[in-house]
Structure 1
Amino acid sequence: MDSWSLEAFKKPYLKVGHIEKTGAGIFELGESGSEFVIESQACDELIATVHGLKSPDNAQWRSLSERHEHDEVRALINHLNEAGLVRESSPEHTLQGKRNITQDSLAEALDALHTTHFDDPALCHQLLDFIDNLHNTSVRQVLAESGHVYIKYAKLTLLCWTVTCPPAVMAAKKLLNALTGHRDNESSIEYSAFWAGELRKCLSVLVWLLNRSQKVDTRKVDFPALHIEEVDSGVNLAVRLERWGLDFMEHVAPSQYQQALAKTGPGRDALIAASYAQEYYITDRFVDLISPAIAQRLPRPLKKLARRYYMEEAGHELYELKTCKALGMTEAQLHSSLPTPFGQLVCDLYTCLASKELVAYFAAATITEGLPGQVNLLNELSAANNATPLFNKTSRKHESLNDKLGHQYISRIMLAEVGELSIEEQQTAANAYALLLDLNIRAWEQLHDFHITLQMPAINHRMLDYIA
């Protein structure tokens, strides 16, 4: 961290309500009463300067940084800054600014859904009832539900936002009310530290989920049964889930995404760029997924492992960012675009599990790291038939580092410290594992739909782009 200097303020002013000359060359000042006694040979001039700096528009603020650090005025203002009497008059993110972004985001969401003729008031009421009962609903309850997978995603997403972005829950409520024709003037959105731009990203996910809920799920694949009939150890559960996951992969239809990566053709360049953009987005949030687990009162060995995992993951997003830059994308473009809905869902669900269902989180961590023995097909296939095959060399370094750190075995390592697990706990972990493995497959296959079938550009900026 850098120290807090005057340069850190956007538009500073002095919060000084008490200024009194008490003698020759002496005056007192403070916020509302005498806090400091100042002696100066240029007392009257210094008092006038202090009075002037009570205004954020005073031109002297701009010249303060150019004064020598031992200059009398600069030294006094630095001291008052340390004492907390320099304040900010123009914060970068105002409440009104956040409200404006929120209103624009809600309008964009409504427009996107109206454009695609969304009309399902029954579903909207169902989700509104769900929101009203969020605090009485658990993640494991929703994981155990059957029915349309995108409605299940929507419920889990709302539960996730209570952890990752609470203002998004109220924004979702306003959107759903608007879709039913009800004008919601009661639900207020308390932003606190949250940025409205993230709220817009959340709404883009809900818009997409509502849209997808109206369509037949053509990718639905039933998992082979995993029989859980007795208490078992955590490490045994991890191993069984890995084998179960590999068994499931054999039931999935051949990957159109992998086929498109492996050959040349229209949209392949955009597909590769979009893949690494999604990889960057997920990796950028990856340490956030671990943090909620660390915050809990875990046994010492498990907490040490979680902290170590966090430290080993910190900074890995830079590998993927460099690859994105090599593909012509800037960091500003990546963060001003809307991440893919599935990419956001993966991160939110993992964060929620780390907060609410630790065993399920540790069990499913291997899905993003790669199952033991699996290679990173994105790195392998995207480099083939590419004019510049070394464009992803930093991503390959990331892959190699993860192998050295043993992250493909992270579920075994973590769950070995958990001990025996009840049947219910194992079943919850299995439900989460199945959902996240399926979600992970869908996330990459969706990129094929966007960039090969629909010929979309690598990064997109409108909610409508993902549902049109």
Structure 2
Amino acid sequence: MERWDIDRYRRPALVPCEVSSGGEVLTIGIADDLIDLSFEGVARDEVAGVVEQLMRPSSDVWVKLNEGECPAWIRALTEQLDALSLIEETDCGIASVTSDTERAIALCAQVGRRLAVVVEKRLAMYKDVLAAVHTMLADNVQDREQAAFPFSNEEAGPLANNFALQALYFQLAYARRNAPELLIAWQRVLAEVFAHLRWHPATAIAQDTTRDGINRIASLDSTDLQMYLLSFAHFVEIAPLRVGRRVTSAPTDNLREPCSGLVLAARAERLLLKALDGLGGNVYASAALASDAITPLVKGLYIEQYHVTDRFVEILGPLLSRRLKRNLRTRLFQYFQEEYGHEAFELATCVALGVNEADVRASVPLPLTALYIDAYTVLADRLPTAFFTSIMVTEGLRDQRSPVHEHIAALVERALHAGDIVVKHGETNDELNHPSLSRLFLADVPFVTPQEQRDSLDAALFMLEVNVRQLESVAFFYGDQTQLRFHGLHEGRRPLEI
């Protein structure tokens, strides 16, 4: 981390003080405190004059200091005053906040209008969905304290068997803990939709329309705001459609006795293998196997993988502060150390394939990529057993090959300068035995209740579906491109469409 210095202030000023002199000492008074300034080789009156000017942020002294035109003793003086915490930033940033807020509000309105155009065409189909989402945005303790999977049965209301609404549930759970500003942004999107439709659910939720509340949206990173606005709109858009239905499920009512973690791991492996067979082929697999060149489809895969690995610290973070058994905590910290920094592999691969590094960093992850990250983070926070069970989805099932990923890796290995990077990443994962992680974690969980079993198995199935859908969204967005375009709303980018 770099050192703080006086040049980092935008509009600095010395804290208002009284200046007095006596003999060779100059005294400045700040409230009840007196500070004596001694100096050599400079007239006392000259120092007093500079101190007087330093109290004015518009003083020429600050301008000359910033331009490197002040004598060395003035810089030394300001650095000493800053070390005493007597220099303050007078630029409150209101102009910047106002500008950022206006841009954020405009972005919310833009996404809201886009969603409204889709909804307007089939309003009757969307009314129940809009009412459900409107209610989900209510910030109450009951929602926040629900179990990881409150929708694993038919009594779960509109969330039952609806993948899109379950996805929104996870993103709302993530936002309430990590980015409550998003709730205000999403409410503004819905308000824009309702205003356009001239219709709203009977039970209205009061929005935070205060200036402070609206300004909170501006505290979000602009790329993150785009990501979550587009993700929210996407899942609302597909919720009443066939593509929005949940396609993975398994009867778990027969799980009425406790079991060990290793038993749960074996049950999850059998369940996932069966679910994979039931899902059959997918658009991504077909498109990837048909590709014999480094196309935007290939580049897009590594761009989205970069976004996932770039937020790995966030995903695992909630587990690292838990007071778990010592051996399990040791494994978690080892996993953290083994995965930390893997985004460098993905980014290096993107660059080697000819993608600009700054563009990759600034790109907006696809909605399913955002969900992938958020859902794992919520599971890690709310139900570690479900996280341990479902992590086999992302790390791979033991002794299972992936012809699609092998084909893509072979393509990239043949690309200029990219092969060594990809091979190193793959070898690193193999050497670390990450496909065994679920079993290794769950081996240190001796007792799993029936409810935890049901939640954990449903979590594994849900994450499997998220994974498959995320890969298909990569194929859908990048697959038909001849020249790489990034996801987003600005600079010629485009949002994901159904």
Same fold (TM over 0.5): yes
Equivalent residue number for residue 323 of structure 2: 297
The SS at the match of 1:399 is: helix
The answer to which of 224-233 and 153-162 deviates more is: 224-233
Equivalent residue number for residue 151 of structure 1: 165
The SS at the match of 1:315 is: coil
Letter in 1 for 2:226: R
The yes-or-no answer on 1:467 pairing with 2:497 is yes
Q: 1:102 aligns with which of 94, 104, 118?
A: 104
Tell me by how many angstroms 1:280 deviates: 0.3
CA distance in 2, matches of 1:398, 1:243: 28
**Identical aligned residues as a percent:** 23
CA distance in 1, matches of 2:218, 2:476: 37
1:127-156 CA distance string (max 9 Å, x none): 222222542121321455423211221222
The SS at the match of 2:149 is: helix
Letter in 1 for 2:2: D
The answer to which of 201-210 and 443-452 deviates more is: 443-452
Equivalent residue number for residue 186 of structure 1: 209
The SS at the match of 1:140 is: coil
The 1:122–1:398 alpha-carbon spacing in structure 2 relative to 1, beyond 3 Å, is same
Letter in 2 for 1:141: P
Equivalent residue number for residue 141 of structure 1: 150
CA distance in 2, matches of 1:308, 1:385: 32
The yes-or-no answer on 1:317 pairing with 2:331 is no
Taking structure 2 as the reference length, the TM-score comes to: 0.84
- Aligned residues: CA RMSD: 3.0
The answer to which of 121-130 and 197-206 deviates more is: 121-130
The SS at the match of 1:374 is: coil
CA distance in 2, matches of 1:110, 1:170: 13
Tell me by how many angstroms 1:57 deviates: 4.1
The answer to which of 155-164 and 193-202 deviates more is: 193-202
What are the residue-to-residue correspondences of 1:231-310 with 2, within 5 Å? 231-264=258-291, 269-310=295-336
What are the residue-to-residue correspondences of 1:283-432 with 2, within 5 Å? 283-375=309-401, 379-384=405-410, 388=415, 391-432=418-459
The 1:133–1:4 alpha-carbon spacing in structure 2 relative to 1, beyond 3 Å, is closer
Equivalent residue number for residue 165 of structure 1: 179
CA distance in 2, matches of 1:175, 1:135: 23
Tell me by how many angstroms 1:82 deviates: 1.9
The yes-or-no answer on 1:447 pairing with 2:474 is yes
The SS at the match of 1:203 is: helix
Tell me by how many angstroms 1:409 deviates: 1.5
CA distance in 1, matches of 2:369, 2:474: 10
CA distance in 2, matches of 1:122, 1:263: 40
Taking structure 1 as the reference length, the TM-score comes to: 0.89
Letter in 2 for 1:15: L
CA distance in 1, matches of 2:71, 2:299: 53
The SS at the match of 1:22 is: strand
Query: Retained in 2: the 8 A contact 1:17–1:32?
Result: no
Tell me by how many angstroms 1:408 deviates: 1.5
Tell me by how many angstroms 1:263 deviates: 2.5
The 1:147–1:220 alpha-carbon spacing in structure 2 relative to 1, beyond 3 Å, is closer
CA distance in 1, matches of 2:136, 2:116: 23
The yes-or-no answer on 1:14 pairing with 2:13 is yes
The SS at the match of 1:116 is: helix
1:67-125 CA distance string (max 9 Å, x none): 79994322222222222222234478943243123202202211221343454343222
CA distance in 2, matches of 1:331, 1:268: 17
CA distance in 2, matches of 1:317, 1:30: 52
Equivalent residue number for residue 113 of structure 1: 115
Letter in 1 for 2:134: L
Letter in 2 for 1:237: L
The SS at the match of 1:14 is: strand
1:241-295 CA distance string (max 9 Å, x none): 1232122111112133122222237x96011111000000001011210011112
CA distance in 2, matches of 1:88, 1:394: 45
Letter in 2 for 1:136: Q
CA distance in 2, matches of 1:366, 1:214: 30
Letter in 1 for 2:360: L
CA distance in 1, matches of 2:261, 2:298: 37
Query: Retained in 2: the 8 A contact 1:383–1:390?
Result: no
The 1:219–1:159 alpha-carbon spacing in structure 2 relative to 1, beyond 3 Å, is closer
